[in-house]
Amino acid sequence: MSDLGKRTRLNRIFSHPSGRIFTVAVDHWIGYLYDPIPAGLRHMTDTVAKVIEGQPDAITMCKGAVVRYFAPHAGKVPLIVQTVAVRTDGQAFFPHATVPEVLGLGADAIAVAVFIHTPETNQQMKLLADTVRVAERYGLPVVAHIYPIRNKTISHQPDDVYFAMRTGMELGVDLVKIPYTGDVASFRDIVVGCPVPAVAAGGPRCDTLDQAKAMLADVVRSGAAGATVGRNVWEQPDIVGAILTLKAVVHGG
């Protein structure tokens, strides 16, 4: 029965005929430092409402934000709950939600953030492996947000990104989110060899929406399963318009 539950939840996320997904992440505050705080993270009631209005294929949020901001929108967009706060400088890594808690929130998937090439990599990979093992019993898909780190920053080098993808896949996740390498050919080599859907992380922030469109067009050309975008949506003055524009790129509109 767990296989049926997982397939049902994944089908809700991958519901578009293109077979790709465009999802929006609003899980950034807990594991990041901002100066100044972006308006999109400061005014979460408005931001979440606008994200839902744009109808992405899923929204990713942390547990507390789901409890406080998602209730008016429950069931309107598939929900992915991010369960780990982690910082690239190694100053934070802690899980803050369990598989049963995520199921209790009605989520369609559980996300685990993992940084590799750090002193904490083994601890983080163990948490991901343990989450996969528990979630499998309940038919809850696991999404790995997995990033290679070099000099305390996210690396976009192809070999590092490939290693990140391979790590998540080997640990049994159902969907892996990895940094975009910056060019179609190198990213294609990574995602084509991945037996589970691989999506590009949509950061860092582009200067313009046209730049974000161009980046996602390249991601689609690589053969990736789509993209998860944060800052390039909720730092735009028109959040709904940004979602509609970028979603059309990912789905071939």
Which residues are tagged catalytic? 27, 147, 177
In Å, how far from its chain's centre is CA 63?
A: 15
The neighbour count for residue 82, using CB atoms within 10 Å, is: 27
Residue 149 corresponds to which tokens in the numbers above? 């780190």
167, 125 contact by CB (below 8 A): yes
